[in-house]
């Protein structure tokens, strides 16, 4: 059956504590959601803030091929006739073909929050729906707090739906606004509503009980055909129902059509793109679309997955545009590394001794606290060094760095001694902080010999304490992200001295770049990408 997908990432999703989109971001996201085949895109609440109002003004720039843009708002204020209500006016002014409006289903809210009688509440709903219908809009009626309202008083809650339905609402959408309902209870209530109302019923759930997706699916099992949610489960408090998981489950588990199987293969890309725009780390373990969703680490799992991926994967990762990843780790023994190298034709290029040495080195580094899965640059360097054992660009003879602080002014100076093929190079430089000073120094030493290393620049720097019990004497892992305009990668260093760990990550990045400049080796790059990112 066709299930209509209603995305509210741009409205309810932005209620999430860490989520913020500019108007430009919102426009780009709307376009992506349209490409993905989402049926409705709720763009915002024009009556609530100027940013959302601006979004609808600029929405004319969008070229939506499939989705219907939707504006969100509340039923009219009790004191205003509907045609004079500012909020309702803004909904019409936004010019969207669809309007979703929420009304009260819970006696408690009607009395306490609105301070109106039951009859007045019903009038607010029917007036607003009828007015929007009279202006040619498709109307989605969001029954706010429906499940709590129904539990308190089924008759009261059902009468509000009736008011919306009789006024011409196209969709009656039941909302678990507080996210407190669990699937068995939600399913019972949905079944009762289904018995009484024909036409399109919708479901909007929040994740406060960690069952928002299950709740949405439970409603669909009861014949609901309109489902609301947010990409990556963004939203207020614990988030909205994660639309990525809902769509994948509908398509792959329940035999429904939400966006269609072709579009489904694009969902991972869109989910990650939105996380990127939101400047939020994508949850690695997010079902279906996360980086770890099809990652295998345990040795037994890996060898089974290598024989038949169905042994440890509930669906094929390709169906959602994700990829299987086999992780290198001390847990999994040598199988994983070999698997990756073999897959890309590299194993046979390694001498027997070099292969064993590489595996031992990886094992030892992971034991010391290196996390190679997140540092594809360091891993690539290890593989390249094993493939070309004679290649050596420089040796570090020594380095020194000091920071002088006077008042609020701080200045770091470093000096580095390197031995390269044409002799010893020495440089001194200052920088913004010790790591920057060392970075500048290292490049100064090498730039005459290898001018192209200037293309590599540091884009992110993270420090993680590995054994927090030791306080400031703890071992740290430094992860540095680099980019050369073409691609980006990370290198890692581990030490109980943060400068030493940073230096090691720094030197790895430069060595790697030199290796890459000397010998282009696509199969190494592919093997590394495959293992680290699963692409």
| Euclidean distance between CA atoms 392 and 385, whole angstroms | 9
CB 41, CB 33: distance < 8 Å? yes
SS in 3 state form for 280-297?
A: CCCCCCCCCCCCCCCEEC
| Euclidean distance between CA atoms 418 and 398, whole angstroms | 7
Query: Which is closer to Zn ion, CB of 12 or CB of 42?
Result: 12
Query: Which is closer to Zn ion, CB of 113 or CB of 134?
Result: 113
Tell me which residue of 371, 366, 417 sits closest to 395, measured CA to CA: 417
| Euclidean distance between CA atoms 453 and 441, whole angstroms | 13
Span of 5-13, 289-297, 344-352, 417-425 interacting with Zn ion by CB under 5 A: 5-13
Residue 12 near Zn ion by CB under 5 A: yes
Span of 9-17, 319-327, 383-391, 484-492 interacting with Zn ion by CB under 5 A: 9-17
CA distances from 134 to 83, 157, 199 (A): 11, 25, 19
CB of 229 to Zn ion, least distance (A): 9
Span of 10-18, 189-197, 365-373, 456-464 interacting with Zn ion by CB under 5 A: 10-18
φ, ψ of residue 281 in degrees (nearest 5)? -65, 130
Tell me the residue length of the chain.
535
Span of 4-12, 81-89, 293-301, 423-431 interacting with Zn ion by CB under 5 A: 4-12
CB of 518 to Zn ion, least distance (A): 56
Burial of 214 (0-12, 13-18, 19+ CB in 10 A): buried
Neighbours of 407 (CB within 10 A): 5
φ, ψ of residue 504 in degrees (nearest 5)? -65, -40
CB of 194 to Zn ion, least distance (A): 21
CB of 320 to Zn ion, least distance (A): 25
Site size for Zn ion (CB under 5 A):
1
CB of 12 to Zn ion, least distance (A): 4
CB of 237 to Zn ion, least distance (A): 10
SS in 3 state form for 105-141?
A: CCHHHHHHHHCCCHHHHHHHHHHHHHHHHHCCCEEEE
| Euclidean distance between CA atoms 297 and 301, whole angstroms | 7
Residue 521 near Zn ion by CB under 5 A: no
CB of 181 to Zn ion, least distance (A): 13
Residue 42 near Zn ion by CB under 5 A: no
Residue 148 near Zn ion by CB under 5 A: no
CB 211, CB 182: distance < 8 Å? yes
Query: Which is closer to Zn ion, CB of 12 or CB of 530?
Result: 12
Query: Which is closer to Zn ion, CB of 7 or CB of 12?
Result: 12
Span of 8-16, 25-33, 325-333, 379-387 interacting with Zn ion by CB under 5 A: 8-16
Site string for Zn ion, 262-291 (x = CB under 5 A): ------------------------------
CB of 462 to Zn ion, least distance (A): 34
Query: Which is closer to Zn ion, CB of 204 or CB of 296?
Result: 204
Q: At what angle do helices 498-518 and 376-387 cross, to 10 degrees?
A: 50
Span of 12-20, 45-53, 214-222, 444-452 interacting with Zn ion by CB under 5 A: 12-20
Query: Which is closer to Zn ion, CB of 12 or CB of 385?
Result: 12
Query: Which is closer to Zn ion, CB of 12 or CB of 373?
Result: 12
CB of 228 to Zn ion, least distance (A): 8
Q: Can you give the binding site for Zn ion, defined by CB under 5 A?
A: 12
């Amino acid at each position: 059956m066709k299930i209509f997908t209603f995305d509210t990432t741009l409205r309810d999703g932005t209620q999430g504590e860490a989520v913020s989109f500019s108007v430009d971001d919102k426009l780009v996201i709307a376009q992506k959601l349209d490409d993905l085949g989402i049926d409705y895109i709720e763009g915002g609440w024009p009556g609530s803030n100027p940013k959302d109002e601006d979004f609808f003004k600029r929405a004319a720039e969008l070229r939506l091929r499939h989705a219907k843009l939707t504006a969100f708002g509340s039923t009219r204020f009790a004191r205003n006739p509907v045609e004079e209500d500012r909020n309702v006016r803004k909904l019409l002014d936004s010019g969207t073909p669809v309007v979703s409006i929420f009304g009260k289903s819970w006696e408690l809210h009607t009395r306490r929050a609105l301070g109106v009688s039951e009859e007045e509440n019903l009038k607010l709903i029917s007036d607003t729906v009828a007015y929007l219908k009279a202006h040619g809009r498709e109307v989605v009626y969001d029954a706010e707090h429906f499940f709590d309202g129904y539990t308190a008083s089924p008759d009261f809650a059902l009468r509000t739906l009736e008011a919306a339905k009789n006024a011409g609402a196209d969709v009656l959408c039941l909302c678990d606004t507080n996210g407190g309902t669990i699937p068995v209870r939600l399913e019972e209530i949905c079944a009762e509503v289904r018995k009484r109302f024909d036409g399109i019923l919708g479901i909007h759930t929040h994740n406060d009980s960690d069952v928002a997706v299950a709740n949405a699916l439970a409603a669909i099992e009861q014949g609901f055909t309109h489902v609301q949610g947010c990409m990556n489960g963004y939203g207020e408090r614990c988030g909205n129902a994660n639309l990525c998981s809902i769509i994948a489950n509908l398509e792959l588990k329940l035999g429904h059509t939400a966006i269609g199987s072709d579009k489904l293969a694009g969902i991972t890309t869109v989910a990650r793109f939105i996380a990127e725009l939101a400047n939020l780390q994508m949850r690695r373990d997010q079902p279906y679309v996360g980086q770890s969703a099809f990652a295998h680490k345990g040795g037994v799992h890996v060898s089974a997955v290598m024989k038949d991926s169905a042994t440890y994967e509930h669906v094929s990762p390709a169906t959602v545009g994700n990829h299987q990843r086999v992780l290198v780790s001390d847990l999994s023994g040598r199988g994983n590394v070999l698997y990756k190298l073999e897959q890309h034709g590299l194993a046979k290029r390694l001498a027997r001794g070099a292969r064993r040495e590489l595996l031992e080195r990886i094992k030892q580094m992971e034991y010391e606290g290196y996390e190679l899965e997140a540092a594809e640059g360091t891993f690539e360097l290890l593989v390249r060094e094993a493939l070309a054992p004679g290649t050596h660009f420089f040796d570090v003879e020594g380095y020194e760095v000091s920071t002088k602080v006077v008042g609020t002014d701080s200045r770091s100076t470093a000096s580095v001694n390197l031995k390269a093929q044409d002799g010893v190079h020495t440089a001194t430089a200052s920088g913004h902080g010790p790591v920057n000073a060392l970075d500048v120094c290292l490049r100064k030493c090498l730039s005459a010999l290898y001018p192209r290393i200037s293309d590599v620049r540091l884009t992110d720097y993270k420090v993680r304490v590995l054994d927090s019990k030791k306080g400031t004497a703890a071992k740290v892992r430094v992860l540095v992200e680099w980019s050369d305009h073409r691609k980006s990668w990370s290198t890692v260093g581990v030490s109980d001295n943060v400068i030493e760990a940073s230096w090691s990550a720094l030197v790895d990045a430069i060595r790697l770049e030199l290796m890459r400049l000397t010998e282009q080796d696509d199969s190494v790059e592919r093997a590394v990408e495959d293992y680290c990112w699963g692409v």
